[in-house]
Amino acid sequence: MSGEGHRPDQQPGEPERSADQQRFANAAWSIPSYLLSGMAVYGGIGWLLDRWLGTSALLPIGILVGLGLALYMVYLRYGR
C-alpha cells in the first residue's frame, strides 16, 4: 500500500485541508448536533413528565427549552 504522505482520514488524490477548513467542517457538524440533541433530550424529559403528570404542555416547552439551551451552547462555543 502506498499511502505514504497522507493522513489516515485522507483519500489519495484528495487535496490537503487547511486548519481553518477543518475547524469549519467540525463546526458544520457539531452545531446541528447540539441543536438536535438539545431538543431531543429536553423534549424527551418533557414527554416523560407529561406522561407522569398527565399533562400535555411540557413536551413543547421541553423542546423549546432544549433549543434555547443548545443555541446558548453554540453561542458560547462559536460565537465569541
What mean pLDDT is predicted for residues 61-71? Answer: 97
Residues contacting 70, CB < 8 A, separation 6+? 34, 35, 37, 38, 39
Per-residue pLDDT reduced to its tens digit, 35-59: 999 999 999 999 999 999 999 999 9
In a 3-state reduction of DSSP, which class is residue 43? helix
Mean pLDDT of the chain: 86
User: Is the pLDDT assigned to residue 29 strictly greater than 70?
Assistant: yes
Q: What's the pLDDT at 3?
A: 52
Cβ atoms of 67 and 38 closer than 8 Å: yes
CA distances from 63 to 4, 11, 48 (A): 48, 39, 12
To the nearest whole percent, how much of the chain has pLDDT over 70? 81
In this predicted structure, which of 11-15, 22-26, 29-33 has the lowest mean pLDDT?
Answer: 11-15
